[in-house]
Amino acid sequence: MNLGNQELFRSQCYADGRWIESAEGNRITVFDPSSGNPIGSVPALGREETAAVIRAANDAWPALRGLAPQGTGPPPPPLDGGGGGPSERRSRYSYT
């Protein structure tokens, strides 16, 4: 993978203001969709970790929902399966 700024590449999950790993140590391999080659891995969070991340997101939502996106471009296409949107692109996951 050719990334100009290696500081942008992370292999942890950002949750509630910090970078975290899986408590169990399990990881998910991330593949480059254009080549199929592995490019990294991320923590495979468990049920309790996932619930904690969701709670943190829900707690943060009231302060964030009124903010306008800055420089994010147009919204993504709807997930209705039409027009080649995200629902037609498939990702591969490998649990290790």
List the pLDDT tens digit at each of the 96 positions of the chain.
Answer: 677 777 788 889 888 888 899 999 999 999 999 999 998 999 999 999 999 999 999 998 888 877 777 655 666 666 665 554 444 444 454 554
In degrees, rounded to 5, the angle at the alpha carbon of residue 81 between the alpha carbons of residues 75 and 82 is 75
Task: State how far the Cα of 39 lies from the Cα of 55, in Å rounded to an integer.
Answer: 30
Going from N- to C-terminal start, the domains of the chain cover 9-61+92-96
In degrees, rounded to 5, the angle at the alpha carbon of residue 44 between the alpha carbons of residues 85 and 17 is 85
Going by C-alpha positions, the residue among 53, 40, 48 that lies closest to residue 93 is 40
